[in-house]
Structure 1
Amino acid sequence: MTDLATTPKADDSSDERPTDDSTTAVIDASASDAPLQWAPAEPARKKKRLWLWIAAPVAVIAAGAVVASLVLIAPGTAVAGVPVGWQTAGAATDAIDQRLAETTLILGDGGPELTGADLGASVDAKALADTAFAERPLWNVTQWNGEAIDAPVTIDTQKTTEALRAALPDAWTEPTPASVAFDGASFVVTPAVDGSGIDVASVEKQLHDAFVAGETSVTIDPTATVVASPATTENAQAAADQANAMLGNAGFYVGDERTVPVDAATAASWLTIAPDDSGTFAVTADAAKIQPLVDTLQPLVDQAPANGTVITNSSGDVLRTTIPGHDGRVLGDTSNVAQDYAAQLASGNGAYALPVEVTPAVTTKLERLLEVNLSEQRLYLKENGNVVDSWLISSGKDSPGQYSPTITGRYRINSHHDVQTMSSGAGEDGSGYWDYRVENIQWIMYFNGNQAFHGVYWHNKWGTKQSHGCVGMPNSRAKQIYDWAPNGVDVWIHT
């Protein structure tokens, strides 16, 4: 039998347990002489900490809730009928896009069905989701269960039209585009004729309304509408007007001269006026049709220079052109003319400037002078200082009692008159030298006040002083200088 032997305090009725470093002696009764052996004491029991097992999970949950409140959208939030509460902005974006793509329109009772995806419908789902999260985060309990956020929906007009045409082909009548054609004199327009179809804007609105209402499928009544051709009458008329304006000045030019005109029918035969897919009319020209005319240009353009002659005075002023002159020209390289002209016609310009090399003309200047030598009673006609003709005249008297000399000096012809009546203005009673009146005096050219060159028919005393100050001569000679000396020609009267 084995008894437990305790320390002297073993009989203590206390229920205290030995501490971890206490020992217990084990006594073997059958071997009373055996030495005492000490057994290790039981380890002290650890105190239980249950609060750690409860508090740790609660803390994790609380932390997760805080994080979730910072990244999730408030419950009860809907974007266009799509519930996005308890979702991240990314998940909400996907949900909005998917719902719109699956929203179905039934075209009339029992009619064909088209989804948002079929219509190319789109919505800025990311922006809407970001707005929902920004305005209604989970942590903001005041925004829970708010009103639905509207979502502007757009559709791809072309894709929707194609889908509607395929679904309801009998609802469509094709429009007739406007056209432009040449009638022999000008380009004229055949007006466009409208067709009919389904109002795409109405379909877009009904898709939006169904989407916002949260309807996944809704029956609509397609609305008929007029379908106009993109190639409108107005666009066609504008193109015709532009082409007709070109026909009016079409041709090949040297400077401002339309050297080789192109008639309207020929120019029109080069042109095609047709609309593109957008309905914009374009003018195109065929260079191959222009080339045959380009091949004939050389003899029509080339010309030798023509020298001219002009009358001037001592100041170099050109008073009259007696022989018109013009520069010569030689047509340059025409290898690209047809192609360039075709491009120019397409841009709306029918006047093509030809490449030419100019050979300048020579202009002869004749500086003319009417010179009267009073001592000789002679008139000299001079060109560039050379006498070209001469004859006797009658100048003004300078004797006592009959003193009306032709005044010396340098002048210029200032006016021409083919016939006039001349009088002294002092009376007509014949009582004095200054009392005279002579009708039908011809070929008059004034140069100094009332003094003039003119014809005389009442005497033939040439070479003697006979006049009241004018330079007289036979009518035939007066007509000669009347034509020879334009206004501005120099006059020199001297002794």
Structure 2
Amino acid sequence: MHSDKLPTGPAPEEIDESSALSDRPADTDAAPDTVLKSPYGETPAVARASILAAASAAPTAHTPADAEANAQTQQTAPVEPVVDTAAPVSPSAITPAEPDAAPDAAEASEVAPTETASTPEDGQASPAPAESAPLPPDASESEKRPHRRRRWALASLAAVLLLVGVGGYAYAAHYADVAVPGTTVAGTDVAGMTRNEIVDAINARVQAATVSVTGDVEATASLTDLGTTVDAEATADAVMSRGADVVDRFKALLGGSDIEVVTTSDDAVLEEYASGLVPEDQAKAQNASVVLNTDIAAFEVSASSEGVSVDSADLAAAAAQAASSLSPTSVELTYVNTLPAVSDADAQAVADTANQWISQDVTITNADGTASYTADAATKASWVEVTENLDAAPTLSIDSDQVAEWVSTQAAAANVEPVVGQRNVNSSGQVVATSVEAVAGQTVNNAETITTAITDSLSSGEAYAGAFEMTTGEEQWEEREIADGAENLVYQAAEGEKWIDINLSAKTVTSYEGATVVRGPVTIVDGAAATPTVTGTYHVYLQYETQTMRGQNADGTDYETENVPWISYFYAGYALHGAPWWSSWGFSASHGCLNMPVAEAKWIYDWAEIGTTVVSHY
């Protein structure tokens, strides 16, 4: 009988029967038919073999025929009894017999082999306890399991990394233009706010950051009153710099940061406010100061005085606290009798130094030495900055920006503007006339160096003399090709260009296209001696078929001529027009216009265009 349950205990230990028997002493008292006790009956002899030994000794079926042969062999082969004369054998030491036939792979994995015992009485096999060992795992399965586990581990890790990466990217992108977490300004959380929102929030709090003055005087002062300015823009920049790059944004997660409010202060404004807290009927303590007398361009001393004052240092500290916390604060002030911190003598020494500075000459010459530029006393005095201090004498400095402005003005005067030259060339490219000479431009290139030198010299109480250095450009020319033969005419026209020649000496008008005469010369009547015709180069700018012309005679009386035909104006009220009232020509008698026969005036009207050149000359 076979057991239906697989063994759950440890695998049976392999035993080498030959060595075990040979090592034991022979038991002469034991009967040869000693019976082993078992739960299934008495067995005189039991075949003992290890699983591995049995497996190695068992024939292997490679084909169905081999399997059948092996089965027959196992069925017919007798079991060689082995008698253990030394000690009884426990059921756990009994190894299973070989199966009747080779099971398939599925059966081998599900059914454990059983032990078979034979009895001497009937030769029938009795089932032994099913003491089974776990089958060795399939090699391919054992190799696949670690790979599967590794794949699952890698997939899980990749998923985690992907989630972290996506989350990190979203975090970094979100805080690219807003304040990072953990950021505060004066104790107020600004995380997630844009730069403009931070600026607005700071400015809103500045309005409430006042200083309440108590004690001998009561007042409420704004930060502006106390000369303190909160730079909301700079503070917002400091906030945004905390998350300026990706690394900084992630570092922000490690801890918070309170950004300091950026402020500036003006001691002079503070001192003026503190002085204003003293009643008008009280004498006020006043430091001596240095002031510029613009009437004489010299620095003078404003005298000091003893009197009542309040401690401006306490007021300054309160202003600083209100500005840094962006919240209201208070300060208690008392009136005290004080001596001025800056005496008249201290201030006079500073004024003397300032006057010595502006007494020094400052002169710049142009590159060729043909012109010079000198700063006067008033100009130099405007360069001197006097900085008052609450508890020390004023300090002096030269304002380099003011110096630079003056140097720039002189450099502009020294610069040479370029002039584009104009010259006429014939068809061969030869220059036949130059109407405008070219001038190369020149620009001062050392203005900044001169500014620095002047600032340093005056700050040392020394004069300055220097010269501009110039950068010279190239000459620029415009060339105009003229018609062959036009070089000898009063106007050098291009080939085919229309133009009108008014010869006041000959009293004629001639029309040209290039150097070719297309009409004339036509005899005309020009301006009388009292109202002469203008001379120069002009252009037709207005034309009428007919017009009533009005003007003044030489004696100042008015005249009016109706129905004047074919008018071509070339300058102001001067025109070429028909004059049907004349029967002869070649003299001077008009109000300045060129009087022509009506037919000739019409021809000019029809031929000339707006812009046609008109040259009037003697």
TM-score, normalising length: structure 1: 0.29
Higher strand proportion (structure 1 or 2): 1
RCO higher in 1 or 2 (8 Å CA, sep ≥ 6)?
A: 1
